[in-house]
Amino acid sequence: MKTSVVHYSRYLLLFGIILLPLFGKLETVPIRVWDEARQAINAYEMSKNHNFLVTYFEGQPDMWNTKPPFLIWLQVVFMKVFGVSVLAVRLPSAIAAFLTCVLLLFFSERYLKSFWFGFIAVLLLVCAQGYVHYHATRTGDYDALLTLFTTAGNLFFFLHCESKKTKYLYLFFAATALGVLTKSVSGLLFLPALAIYAFYSKQFLPLIRNKHFYVGLTGCLLAVLGYYGLREVYNPGYLEAVYQNELGGRYLTAIEGHTGGFWFYYDDLINYRFPEFYLFIPCGVVIGLASKEGPFRKMAAFSFLATLTFFLIISTGKTKLPWYDVPLFPFYALLSAITLYCFFTILKKSTLITSLFQWNPLPFLLLFLLFINPYKRMKDKVMNPVEASSDVELYEMGYYLKDAVKGKHPTQDRFFVFEGYNPHNNFYIHMLKERGVTTGLKEWSSLAEGDKITTYQKTIQQHIEENYHTTRMEEAGNIVTYEIQQRKH
C-alpha cells in the first residue's frame, strides 16, 4: 500500500508542476495580432457560418492563412463549450502541450523503463523559454498542436522500428495526417530523418515490405489529399495560394521581410529559447551514443538525427521566424535529459548516502537546485507577464477591450474606429456582441452626430478633432471615447 501511494504521488507531483506553466492565466495577455488573431477570427466565423471546410476572414475565404483547419475545428468546439473567449482560442495549445508531456513520460516508461528520465525530460520541456511562450503553448497558434503530432509521429515510428508492432505504425500515420491537417507541409519536415533512421536501423526493407505500411500510408494520403482536394473544389485558387504561402514561396524567398542567416535558430536557442540547458544537448548526444544500454543509445541516435535534420531544413529556408523551431523542443528535452539522468543515476546509486540515511535525497536535491530558478522564471513569466516595450502601444487597446468584456469599461451603444489590420481588437468586439452588448466597428469616414466613438490611434483622433465638435467621454492612456456633436464647417 505504501509503495502504491509513493508510486502515484510522483505522478501527481509532476502533473502539479506542469499545470501552472501550461494552464496558468491563459487569458491574461490579450490576443496576439500575429497570427493568433487570424485563427481566432477564422474560428469565430466558422462557428457562425458552419462551413467546416473553408476558413473565412471578414466574410471572405481566407487566402492568406491557408493552413488546414484542424486547430480551427478544436477552437470552434471550445467556443461551443466555453463561449467565444480567449480561453477557447488558447486551450487547444495548452492541452496539446500537456499531452506532449504525457507522451514523453509514456515513451520513457514504455521504452526506457524509467519514470525519472521522463520526469526530467518533462521538466526540461516546461522550463524551456521558447516552448512555453507566445506562438507556442501560450497562444492559439498552430505550433504547440503541430509539435504534439510531430513528436507523436516520430516516437511511434521509432517504437515501431524497435518493436515491429503494427499499432505503432498506424499511430505514426495517424499522427502524420493530423500534423499536416494542422500546419500543412510543416507536419512532414521530420520525414527525411525517419527515412535515414530506417536505413540506419536496417528497417527500411522490412518496412516497405509490410502491407500495413501501405494501408497506413493510404489512409494518411486519403485524409490529407481529400481535404486539399475538397477545399480546392469549394474554394478555387486555394492550392495556388498554398504553394505561394507555404511551399516554394516561403521556403525559397523571405516572406514579409522575415529574414535571417543560417545560424538564426542556433543564436535564438542559446540566447533566449533554451539558455539554461542548451549545453546539455551536445553532452546528451555524446553520453547517449556512448551508452552501453541499447535503448538509451538508440534513442539518442534517433533524437539527434531528428533534431539535426529538422534544424538544417529550417535553417536553410529563406523565411525565418522564431517559432519554426518549436517542434524541436521535445527532442531538445530528451537529449538534455540524458545528461541530467546520467548524474541523477550516479547520485541515486551512492552507497555512502544510503548507508547513512533510510533514503537518498541527493538525486532529488540535484533536480531541485537545477530547476528551481528556471521554474521560478517560468512561473513569473506566466503569472505576471510583461509586454515588451515595443508592444505596449500595440496591445493597449487589447487590454482595454479585455477589461471591457469584464464590464470595467462602458461599451453599450459605443462604436470602435480602427485603421489598418486589427483582428486582435476585432475579436474582442465579437466577444462583446456575443455578450449582448450593442457595439461594433465604424468607418472613420462615416461618423454621424450622436455617435459614441472609441479609438486608440492618433491619426483617427486627430481626424475626429479636426472635423467634428466632440465631447470627451472617457480617456484611458492613449484610448479616447468621443461623443460626436456635429461636423465642423
pLDDT at residue 3, rounded to an integer: 58
pLDDT tens digits, residue range 357-394? 677 888 999 999 999 999 999 999 999 999 999 899 99
Given a cut of 90, is residue 175 above it in pLDDT? yes
Report strand pairing: 452-455 vs 479-487: antiparallel
Is residue 245 very low, low, confident or very high in pLDDT (cuts 50, 70, 90)? confident
CB atoms within 10 A of CB 288: 25
Judged against a pLDDT cut of 90, whether residue 457 lies above it is answered with yes
Residue 185: which pLDDT band, with cuts at 50, 70 and 90? Answer: very high
For residue 2, pLDDT beyond 60 = no
Cell of 355: 548507508
Q: Any idea what the Cα angle at residue 253 is, between residues 252 and 256, rounded to 5°? A: 145
Contact 147, 329 (CB under 8 A): yes
**Percentage of the chain modeled with pLDDT above 90:** 85
**Which tens digit of pLDDT belongs to each residue from 98-108?**
999 999 999 99
Out of 6-15, 43-52, 427-436, least confident range: 6-15
Burial readout 292-303 (b: 16 or more C-beta within 10 A, e: otherwise): eeeebbbbbbbb
Give residue 305's identity as a one-letter amino acid code. L
Region 309-326 average pLDDT: 92
Residue 355 identity = S
Q: Render pLDDT for 72-113 as a digit per residue (tens, 0 to 9).
A: 999 999 999 999 999 999 999 999 999 999 999 999 999 999
Q: How far apart are CA 282 and CA 265, in angstroms?
A: 16
Contact 425, 441 (CB under 8 A): no
pLDDT of residue 353: 67
pLDDT value at residue 326: 97
Residue pair 310/189 in contact by the 8 Å Cβ criterion: yes
In this structure, the dihedral spanned by the alpha carbons of residues 414, 415, 417 and 422, taken in order and rounded to 10 degrees, is 110
- Predicted TM-score of the model (pTM): 0.94
**Beta-bridge mates of residue 476:** 479
The residue among 349 and 176 whose pLDDT is bigger is: 176
pLDDT above 70: residue 65? yes
What would the mean pLDDT of 115-143 be, rounded to a whole number?
Answer: 97
Highest-pLDDT range among 183-187, 346-350, 351-355: 183-187
| Mean pLDDT, residues 131-149 taken together | 97
Amino acid letter for position 457: Q
Cβ-contact 415, 451 below 8 angstroms: yes
- Checking if the pLDDT of 489 tops 80, the result is no
Mean pLDDT calculated for residue range 309-314: 96
Query: How large is the average pLDDT for residues 443-461?
Result: 91
pLDDT averaged over every residue in the chain: 93
- Give the span between the Cα atoms of 381 and 384, in whole angstroms: 6
Residues 348, 350, 356, 359, Cα dihedral to 10°: 10
d(CA 229, CA 244): 17
Closest CA to 144 of 239, 26, 306, 230: 26
Confidence band for 446, pLDDT divided at 50, 70 and 90: confident
Question: What is the arithmetic mean of pLDDT over 342-360?
Answer: 79
pLDDT value for 444: 83
Q: What is the mean pLDDT of residues 425-446?
A: 93
**Omega before 35 cis (within 30°)?**
yes
Residue 1: pLDDT above 60?
Answer: no
pLDDT band of residue 249 (cuts 50, 70, 90) is low
Quick one: pLDDT at residue 354? 64
Confidence class of residue 248 from pLDDT cuts 50, 70 and 90? low
Which residues in 119-153 are b (16+ Cβ under 10 Å) and which e?
A: bbbbbbbbbbbbbbbbbbbbbbbbbbbbbbbbbbb
> At 244, is the pLDDT very low, low, confident or very high (cuts 50, 70, 90)?
confident
